[in-house]
Amino acid sequence: MKIQKKITGAVRPCVLKLAGTALITCSLLAFDHPAAYATSISGDSLTILRLRENKRDDQLFPLYEYLNLSASDTGSQGTISVQLGGWGRIDLGDRSSQRRSDGDIQYGFLSYRANKNNLQFNAGRQWVVEGVATERLDGLYLRTDLVAGFTAATFVGTPVTTNPNFEGGELIYGGRIAHTMPKYYSIGLSALRNETDAEGLREEEGVDLWLHPIPQLDISGRSSYNSLSKGWAEHAYTLSVTPMDALRLSASMQRIDYKDYFYHVTTSALSLTNGILDPNEELWNVGGSIGFLPTKNVNVALEYNRYEYEIAGDADYYGVTASFTTPTALTAGASFHRMDGDTGPLRYNQYRAWATQKFGPADLTLDFFDVDFDSSITGRTNTYSLAAAAGYNFNRSLRVTADIDYQRSTDFDNELRGLVKLSYAFGFGKEGK
Amino acid sequence: MKKISLMVLMGVTLSFLYACANTSSIARVHPEEVKGLPRCAECHTDTWTALNHQAQDFYLKHKFYAAQQRAACSTCHKESFCVDCHAHKEEIKPNDKYKERPELNLPHRGDYLSRHRIDGRINPASCVKCHGRENNERCKTCHR
């Protein structure tokens, strides 16, 4: 793996090509778009002020603005929309990170969705989720239904990565072909390749499935193969059985081969070169859960997970969660989990209790979370956090929330954090949330 | 020349396959506003009965559903909904951003800085999708 060189100066040619292609395609779509039946513009703004101290007693008051915008225009053939979202920060107190101000465009793309054949075309910064691909890219995405139950999707672009240690590549492309019988199953084959100067950084193929031969049975999962390291990176499958509305049984299996799964990341924290992750390690995670609704308002879940390793010691994780909800005012829950590993840090009890109560336009939330270790970690066996939040809805669009969070951890004796949040939704027309 | 001919042939074939598909697209916006954690089977009797957001394994399975048919998620969820957790660059943990929604069981509750090495030892694969290639600039502070 090569250390990432910061790219400065000229924009990469492939980006220009992609941008040009996107602009031309979008212009053609817009030009061809018949008169609008419905136009919708919506957005939401989230202004957040955080208040905390760090280990050096710096007073940190970062102020954030998150803004999401969506505009769509529906015609007789389909809908053209523009989606844009990002955030910015400025430090009102001491510096909270390397830069006093920062920000990010999280997504920004133009989309066309046809009323027929689930045809969708996106151009811009987007998050593509297709089989083995879970990628953010600046580029193009096309998906459509084909004849006889087949569907196809393809994408190409520049990977949008953060590259603190290793480069994320200059070009990513791939696709997925699937066959679906909506009542019974969907099985897909997918592939992706990520490269720099035609040299492959990642090359993955996979099969994904979703089987539901009867309404009570649901099996989903995927297997992915790493062509560069020539090994199966992951097998992950979950089976759910719902013999009655009030009862759901679930079993899951995951196998990870470290040398194939962690083959190319951009951070040394998850790299096989960091001395923490052993390339020869293999993980098997097998588990199950039972979900039970004794009444419509009560939900109880029991879960068990077994982690088995080729090299490290094994661990069991099991517990119970119960929650109670009334249709209008109260949501409450509690959980207990036990981690039974082979070393001190992997032997602990985890407790949680939470409740949210509405009082007309106002609401109050309490959330307690406690981890009790069998042996001390940096001189402490018990760590906990207690959070209280209060919110008030001025109307359907404007809401203010404030919360305070007290923590006692292995790193901090007493840490108090605060957050004030103002959210405002605006626009007209009908969109999702 | 051979390449161009092959591409033209592929384009024509795909256009033909597309034209013959004749399916109706999934609704772009859900006809009714859905609040809280929905159990889609309360109204649906089709494929979407599986999307029970209250099920104990829904969090585990949602990635498979999204990778198969993300348009179904998009009927209720805007892009910004996914980005709250699956971010390119983010400085506020999902759990910190939505303290008033404890029922969502959002990741990294409490003092996660000291606990992340425990989760990382148990199953580092669960970290990769969000932090393997994105949202990992701060890792460098300690992981050089």
Domain locations along chain B: 38-92
Question: Of A1-5, A162-166, A196-200, A257-261, which range is least confident?
Answer: A1-5
Domain locations along chain A: 117-280, 289-397
Q: How confident is the model at residue A160 (pLDDT cuts 50, 70, 90)?
A: very high
Contact assignment for B47 to A377 by CB distance below 8 Å: no
Contact assignment for B122 to A70 by CB distance below 8 Å: no
Pair of tokens at residue A175:
């696709």
Q: Is the pLDDT of residue A143 over 70?
A: yes
| Region at A267 (left for phi over 0; alpha for psi -120 to 50; beta for the rest) | beta
Q: Is the pLDDT of residue A29 over 60?
A: no
The dihedrals phi and psi of B34, each to the nearest 5 degrees, come to -110, 130
Q: Is the pLDDT of residue A96 over 80?
A: yes
Q: Is the pLDDT of residue A6 over 80?
A: no
Residues of A in contact with B47 (CB under 8 A): 182-183, 212
Q: How many residues does chain A have?
A: 433
Query: Quick one: which of A146, A145, A209, A200 has its CA closest to A173?
Result: A200
Q: Which residue of A has its CA nearest to B44?
A: A215
pLDDT value of residue A430: 58
pLDDT value of residue A305: 96
Q: How confident is the model at residue A5 (pLDDT cuts 50, 70, 90)?
A: very low
Question: Of A89-98, A161-170, B108-117, B129-138, which range is least confident?
Answer: B108-117
pLDDT value of residue A51: 95
- d(C-alpha B94, C-alpha B59), whole Å: 14
Contact assignment for B89 to A106 by CB distance below 8 Å: yes
Q: How confident is the model at residue A413 (pLDDT cuts 50, 70, 90)?
A: confident
Q: Is the pLDDT of residue A3 over 60?
A: no
Q: How confident is the model at residue A4 (pLDDT cuts 50, 70, 90)?
A: very low
Contact assignment for B57 to A252 by CB distance below 8 Å: yes
pLDDT value of residue B50: 83
Size of interface A-B (CB pairs under 8 A): 316
Residue partners of A431: CB distance under 8 A and separation at least 6: A40, A42, A70, A72, B29, B78
Highest-pLDDT range among A18-27, A302-311, B11-20, B70-79: A302-311
pLDDT value of residue A60: 94
Question: Of A145-159, A220-234, B74-88, which range is least confident?
Answer: B74-88
Regarding pTM above 0.95, the answer is: no
pLDDT value of residue B129: 87
pLDDT value of residue A35: 45
Q: How confident is the model at residue A429 (pLDDT cuts 50, 70, 90)?
A: low
Contact assignment for B103 to A234 by CB distance below 8 Å: no
pLDDT value of residue A31: 45
Interface-testing mutation among B45, B53, B64, B65, with chain A (most A C-beta atoms within 10 A): B64
Residues of A in contact with B135 (CB under 8 A): 162
Q: Is the pLDDT of residue A247 over 80?
A: yes
pLDDT value of residue A431: 61
The angle formed by the CA atoms of residues A107, A109 and A112, to the nearest 5 degrees, is: 140
pLDDT value of residue A11: 41
Q: What is the pLDDT of residues B46-68, one digit of tens each?
A: 888 888 898 889 988 999 889 88
Average pLDDT over residues B16-24: 84
DSSP H stretches of helix in A33-84: none
Out of A208, A317, A367, whose CB is closest to B102? A367
Question: Is beta strand A171-181 parallel, antiparallel or unpaired with respect to A185-196?
Answer: antiparallel
